[in-house]
Amino acid sequence: MTPKNEYPGLLYKADELYKFKQTLELFSIMLKEGFENRIIHFEPAAPDDFRVWLMSHKIIDIGPEDPKSIM
């Protein structure tokens, strides 16, 4: 089953995202070439689900192995 290309509340589609870094519940996301604002921030209602969605679309994670280890 192919995951949906859109995530609730996120203004960009999966194929427009390049890399991300998670800090607790906040995601900093780098967009692919061609976007004026290259980095956006998104705080989803369900961070674990959003992370799974990003990974299912093969968006590159540039953060630590455990995003909760920052504390």
pLDDT at 42 over 80: yes
Task: Give the mean pLDDT of 39-43.
Answer: 96
pLDDT at 33 over 50: yes
Of 54, 62, 68, 55, which is closest to residue 23 (Cα–Cα)?
68
Per-residue pLDDT at 3? 74
The DSSP symbol for 2 reads: P
| pTM summary value | 0.82
φ and ψ of 7, to 5 deg: -120, 135
Per-residue pLDDT at 66? 59
